[in-house]
Structure 1
């Protein structure tokens, strides 16, 4: 018996031995949706496969032996992971996990290394991060003092031979008060919580136990760096009373953290600090590298029970069922060391602490802040800016679109030279595209198709793909949005689906290079989610939306999508803001202060912060779980905003021509640039986060030198 699958015109015959393990599965996955396949260990045996889909979900399959794994993998599409689907399945890199991969912050870049062979779908192989701080009792935390950081060259106190597996997850999975962790813990423990004195209830106490108790085997899970909700017993679980007569509820925070959001933010900043950067390679040596096994592990007091290591036991060689069951139970209960990846010392990371920098780089603020001003001949307000400046692109560029729908591809040079004058424009990071600069009307790239006259052209009407090759435009009278080639200016695709005029579009890149999600909102109060294939550069041969998102009762005014989190956040013309999954499920509404209605701009970071701008200068910062974290009012009509790639900083600009930078978490001011002579209509950041490009109502673009690191250390080093 075999099952025949039709996949891109080819017939695939799946062996019966493989099909036998699909019975009872509650799901079906199309071969065309598979984007990556990874080998995985389960119970220390190489018998599992994790399959990642285009919609960012993943499924982990465990098979009885390696021969069945090979048959299953042979039947799957030959895909890998990398910039261009780069690495085949049989490479060691297939152990990495793409879920946390990314380039927007050190934490996500670290994740690809810190989670090899580990997966969110197997609680025995959950990703792990290090404890990075050593001060959990002080009233104030100074992130400039080395004494406040853990020594990452040691596993723990010299007398505590501490395993580097995720004991935290195994014994105290209910440390996370939220789902699905609580249900998973109860399912594994006969529907009962652990003894109250063993339940994770204090961060400081857990750290002290790690230092003193040789049997304590805890490192951290990634949620300690991005999920404050895990520290709050929001569901009111009865977790019992400790021997000191204190009821277990919310997790006790260090004195320097006033809220769970404070703790997660500061803990993440510590992880991304230069102190950790200078030491992290030593922790990698202990956990994944040459100090994990052998004589170096002995010298580092890093040797543990043989059943915690891959290859420590062959379950297939155990013939007695009771012995095998007992061995599996021990592996499940006492943690598993990560995969052994490195046999030589990991090189240290180049650190900014090793650089000498003069604080007086320029003579005056204007020369320091403004890199260049570039004027377009059309004089039409620049209403959209997209800075796709990655060096590996065929054409790193800043794409600009004006209110008259004239667009230009402004080539980007990957060197920034602050303080140049317009006469030195050939040295600047942005170069005028020759087809626009020559001023010939026949060569101007302009979208001339008829737009609905009631549509106000704004930055929300345009999307530029990550490779700068295509521009998506909405607002057409025929209820479509359209795809144009930025190279030729020609229309390449018309996408229908809405019952009324499309009012806004947004995109977010998938973890596979070139693919992205497109979301379109319209006057019919619906949102449609589409998938843009980087391989084919179209939304589909016969485009149909991947999901329909409902919940608004009036025109959709603004929308943002985050592929990393699998979320869509949208705002109705008169409110509210709604949060959907990319599969179409409505999760919640975001409630700002009373009378704050009309959302006009939305920006969401992969770290879980959602910034919403309402009319009349009003801003709110929400967590993705709907908690209002901060809000503020400005005396300006804001037209554009952008979050830094790490989600820590927010830049805004509007009718008064002033660019302001804010601390995103608290909306506290960090920096104000000199006022421009025209209103700001659009803005974006270069890939290296060093240049802020703004589109002006005068038809110019202004490039500002931006230094998030400097403001970070000036304003945020002490708590």
Structure 2
């Protein structure tokens, strides 16, 4: 399949019209049905094409969103939206399943054969003939020296043909590419189930609610940590044991642990409590582990007030009455920077995805209805200036406007170049990181239920596939594509009040924390409850997932951190059969 398969999506519509002298092709020749295209590829080698990347991520290519008049086929059917296989209820589901198949372990183990055909020894020559992998001569590199053609008309025709019908990639290898080993064989322990949900319960003596957790447990760090921040602004640098191995069975249960706070030696647990927080007077905050000045009394302190760097060297905190947010060194608890960029109290912060030693974006939202985008330098552990030079005053990279109410949630993606912000009146806006407004995202069914406005936006999550999860108030969840199309209609209403949520790294699962003290795992698409861990004794104020995705951490209202064992593989479409008889 070539790039003109999705000619009903710009900019490919323009490309297609240019190729066809300003008109669409004959209706019977247009891309109309997945099953029909598949049948043609099986019967006629002329119809065999490389699958375009959009088939694995761009559901919009199957919609005739602009209502182009594409005519009728000989059988009388009007050409419009693409017909999908019966196993796909929507274009979004087709793209999801298609991508899951592409990224499956089975395909990965056979990827070497595709590499041999496209980039390797089967690309040309006798091996290409044996593999039925020979293409038109103009598609091969070096097959035609255009500069040697004097006739301008002939040269233009050849250039047009090469441009519109593609080229075979450069041959990179002349020997067979080695196959990739299956993850089932190289990492069998990842499929070893744990019999008990509860891993550990860690209680701090202050009894102050844990409002933020950052599980920076990457084994590449010199000292992996679990950063915890309490409502009294005391934070803990709790050591993470990367060598901890989950037992296959445990005698303890959550109920027993909640009733009996005695715990075995710390060596048996993945987290060791910060020594500075293990002893002392709970009524006296530790100066070396305190974030400094009190927050504005109008704000409720939540997980959105804090952002931590990947190595836990710095905490960025907001909510101060002087309209600033601050960068605080965790080792000394000293304020390194005080950043001013808003005309009212800063209500929430967000950080883009980043590597262990890479810079990132930090976005701040405020009561003044604006979002400001900043550049954080990992090397200098500070918000950078305009030229990213040491000693410069912090300077915003973009000021995002458009909201009419205070900002209540932000999501930043450097990978996609997007900033998504939500406000108290339920408005969601998507900007680029350059400051341009892309679109407004609307959940229609919430605004049409006799309400003046939608509930406030309390959380926004975005997967690497650009699927967006929006939480309205404490009850409603809606999912959208990157272009703003709502996936679940109507919005899902939770039976429990949701206080916090986080997304797994692959974007497949959402972990929820509720007011009733439960932590649940939900499949993102479609929104499907998969599992709920045993109930704790107080509301869950924040949640996090360890870097190896084997543990879920929850911060509780009671001032404790609960850690559950989790195995996301048992819900994965490709591996779930391995758990059927266990």
TM over 0.5: yes
How far did residue 442 of structure 1 move?
5.3
Moved more, 496-505 or 194-203: 194-203
Map 1:93-112 → 2, pairs under 5 A: none
Deviates most, 249-258 or 560-569: 560-569
Alignment of 1:309-388 (within 5 A): 309-318=140-149, 320-354=151-185, 361-362=193-194, 368-388=196-216
SS of match in other structure, 1:635:
coil
Alignment of structure 1 residues 423-442 onto 2, 5 Å: 423-437=264-278, 439=280
Aligned to 1:500: 344
Tell me the distance in 2 between the aligned counterparts of 1:646 and 1:549.
28
Structure 2 distance, partners of 1:641, 1:187, is 47
The question of whether the paired residues in 1 share the 8 Å contact of 2:210 and 2:229 is answered with: yes
Q: Please say if residues 670 and 715 of structure 1, whose CA atoms lie closer than 8 Å, have aligned partners that are also in contact.
A: no
Counterpart in the other structure of 2:124: 293
The reply on whether 1:588 has 2:440 as its aligned counterpart is yes
Partner of 1:259: 90
* 1:611 match: 469
State the alpha-carbon separation in 2 of the partners of residues 185 and 341 from structure 1.
31
CA offset digits 1:264-318 (Å, max 9, x no partner): 1111222222322232222222222232234432321222233212333344454
Q: Is the 8 A contact 1:592 1:620 kept in 2?
A: no
Report Cα offsets for 1:315-339 as digits up to 9, x if no partner. Answer: 4454554443333223113311223
Counterpart position of 1:599: 457
Q: Which aligned pairs between 1:55-74 and structure 2 lie closer than 5 A? A: none
Residues 210-249 of structure 1: pairs in structure 2 closer than 5 A = 210-249=41-80
Q: 2:9 aligns with which of 178, 186, 191?
A: 178
1:319–1:491 CA distance, 2 compared to 1 (3 A): farther
CA 1:216–1:501: 2 relative to 1, 3 Å: same
Distance 2:274 2:172 in 1: 46
Tell me the secondary structure at the aligned position of residue 570 of structure 2: helix
1-structure distance, mates of 2:356, 2:537: 41
CA 1:609–1:455 in 2, change beyond 3 Å: closer, same or farther?
Answer: same
**In the alignment, does 2:530 pair up with 1:670?**
yes
Distance 1:486 1:316, change over 3 A: farther
1 CA distance for matches of 2:239 and 2:122? 47
SS of the residue aligned with 1:371?
strand
Q: Give the Cα–Cα distance (whole angstroms) in 1 for the partners of residues 237 and 525 of structure 2.
A: 34
SS at match of 2:535: coil
Q: TM-score, normalized by length of structure 2?
A: 0.87
Distance in 1 separating the partners of 2:356 and 2:561: 31
**What is the CA distance between 1:633 and its match in structure 2?**
1.8
Q: Distance in 1 between matches of 2:502 and 2:190?
A: 28
How far has the Cα of 1:369 moved from its partner? 1.4
8 A contact 2:311–2:356 mirrored in 1: no
Aligned to 2:138: 307
Is residue 2:265 matched to residue 1:414? no
Label 1:409 to 1:358 Cα distance change in 2 as closer, same or farther (>3 A): closer
Which segments of 5 or more consecutive residues in structure 2 lack a partner in the other structure? 253-262, 385-391, 578-582
**TM-score (norm. length: structure 1):** 0.71
Aligned residues: 544
Distance 2:294 2:345 in 1: 12
Q: CA deviation at 1:604?
A: 1.4
Question: Pairwise mapping of residues 451-530 of structure 1 onto structure 2 (< 5 A)?
Answer: 451-509=295-353, 514-530=358-374
Tell me, yes or no, if structure 1 residue 446 matches structure 2 residue 290.
Answer: yes
Secondary structure at 2:47's aligned position in 1?
A: coil
| Cα gap change, 1:336 to 1:699, in 2 (>3 Å) | same
Find the aligned partners of 2:122 and 2:497 in 1 and give their Cα distance.
57
With over 3 angstroms needed to count, the CA separation of the structure-2 counterparts of 1:392 and 1:512, relative to structure 1, is: closer
CA deviation digits over 1:24-77, x for unaligned, max 9?
xxxxxxxxxxxxxxxxxxxxxxxxxxxxxxxxxxxxxxxxxxxxxxxxxxxxxx
2:404 to 547, 553, 556: 553
2:160 and 2:243 mapped to 1: Cα distance?
Answer: 57
Q: Distance in 2 between matches of 1:513 and 1:200?
A: 45
Deviation at 1:462, TM superposition (A): 0.5
Q: The residue matched to 1:215 in structure 2 has which SS? A: helix
Say if 2:569 and 2:576, in contact at 8 Å, map to a contact too: no
Q: Judging changes above 3 Å, is the alpha-carbon distance between structure 1 residues 339 and 696 closer, same or farther for their aligned structure 2 residues?
A: farther
Equivalent-residue separation in structure 2 for 1:545 and 1:358 (angstroms): 43
Which residue is equivalent to 1:628? 486
SS at match of 1:620: strand
* Alpha-carbon distance, 1:445 to partner: 1.3
CA distance in 2, matches of 1:263, 1:362: 33
Distance (whole Å) between structure 1 residues aligned to residue 127 and residue 275 of structure 2: 60
Instruction: Name 1:573's counterpart in structure 2.
Output: 424
Deviation at 1:196, TM superposition (A): 1.8
Does residue 282 in structure 1 map to residue 103 in structure 2? no
Deviation at 1:184, TM superposition (A): 3.0
What RMSD, in angstroms, separates the aligned Cα atoms of the two structures? 2.6
Q: Distance in 2 between matches of 1:371 and 1:393?
A: 23
**Offset of residue 472 of structure 1:** 0.8
- Whether the 8 Å CA contact 2:426–2:472 is kept in 1: the answer is no
